[in-house]
Amino acid sequence: MTLPSNIYIDIHSHSPSPSKDVITFCSLFHDQSISECENTFFSVGLHPWHIDSTDCKNALLELDRSAQSEDIIAIGETGLDRAITTKFERQKKVLKEQLRIAEKYNKPLLIHCVRAFPEIISLLKKSKVPIIIHGFQGNFKISDELLKHNFYISIGAAILKEIPKHIHALQLIPLENLFLETDESDESIKTIYAKVSELLEVEEKELMTQIQANTTKLFHL
């Protein structure tokens, strides 16, 4: 599939595309299945929030099976989260398994990270597949570290709050490493593109073209 021009790409959401001019990458949780939707690509992953309530061994086997499908274009979201009670070592183990699956099928990995950037970097810096840090809300020192390892950074609706440290970090991310997303927000991806183009002082068209190019490159579309 070639991406049409003049299209907005939402790299991480949990719902299908809302309109013809938006291509959505919809992340399924490990127990959800694909339903055919226009302009929508799917990823699947075992989220750290679900580890304690899941038979992880079976879920990972199932994930390995789903990952073989052409309909699944990435693995995730998965990651590490220090704000939950799930044992950190357990989270790391489950993440490592998903990195293995992503590498086995050569599909990018979508990462959820809360207060665990050093561990994310150390676990994933040698990854053979692209790493996308979704919903990034850190400062420029953290984004700099991520970029050193050529990770990709996705910015979501939090940027609409215009918090100075987020704006500063955004302004230092090369466009070649940038994605935009809605995740669970009710904001439109178009609002996020408009705000980011304003903050970066780049034409929205240029932003759209670059994010399309990033998408084509990472997902072989």
Positions touching Zn ion (CB under 5 A) are: 183
Quick one: 10 or 183, whose CB is closer to Zn ion? 183
Report the residue closest to Zn ion, judged by CB: 183
Which neighbouring-strand residues pair with 179? Answer: 154
Quick one: 27 or 177, whose CB is closer to Zn ion? 27
Tell me which residue of 159, 199, 204, 207 sits closest to 179, measured CA to CA: 207
- Residue 64 CB, shortest distance to Zn ion, in Å, is 21
Quick one: 185 or 209, whose CB is closer to Zn ion? 185
Host H or E run for residue 215? helix 204-219
- Residue 81 CB, shortest distance to Zn ion, in Å, is 12
List Cβ neighbours of 163 (8 Å cut-off, separation of 6 or more).
none
- Residue 47 CB, shortest distance to Zn ion, in Å, is 8
Q: What distances in angstroms separate CA 175 from CA 77, 155, 212, one per listed residue?
A: 22, 12, 11
- Residue 202 CB, shortest distance to Zn ion, in Å, is 26
Quick one: 97 or 183, whose CB is closer to Zn ion? 183
- Cα dihedral 198, 211, 19, 78 sign: negative
Q: Do residues 108 and 130 make contact, with C-beta atoms less than 8 angstroms apart?
A: yes
- Residue 196 CB, shortest distance to Zn ion, in Å, is 18
Angle between helices 117-124 and 140-148 (to 10 degrees): 10
Quick one: 26 or 142, whose CB is closer to Zn ion? 26
